[in-house]
Structure formats: C-alpha cells, structure tokens
Amino acid sequence: MLDFGQPIRLTDVVIPACNDLSSISIDVWCEGEGLDSQRLVVCPDIGNRTLALSDIQPACVCRYLKVREYVIGA
C-alpha cells in the first residue's frame, strides 16, 4: 500500500510485467478503505504485459493506493 501523505490527483500508473504474478488489482481511496475505496483497474495478465494507464480522465483523487494479487473468479 502506498500512502502519498495527502490527497493527490492520480493521472498515470505504470507497473512493469512480473512473472511471479498472474493478475493484480489496484484500489484507491482518500478516507478509509472501507469507506470510499474504488477499484481503479484489474490486470489479468501482469505476468506477460506491463500495465500502463495514462491521462486518466477524470483524474482520481486519492491518498492511498493498494496493489494486490487478484484471483479471477474468487
């Protein structure tokens, strides 16, 4: 989990491919994970491809960003 220390405008995300993972999800929030969390993206093939999001519109306002392994179908 990343804590940016204050709310930021998230416009770009790049996560390189990682053979150790099959899929990931990225969640963002400002106040609390259980209060205002939203799923930004699910990447089902991070083992083979880099995840690149650019010029996200509208930009996400968040303080926290969590990358977690995502199990499809669970």
| The 38-43 sheet, strands edge to edge | 2-10, 60-69, 24-29, 38-43
Q: What is the mean pLDDT of each run of 10 residues along the chain (74 residues)?
A: 96 94 94 93 93 93 93 62
Single pTM value for the model: 0.86
* Alpha carbons 64 and 8: distance in angstroms, whole number: 9
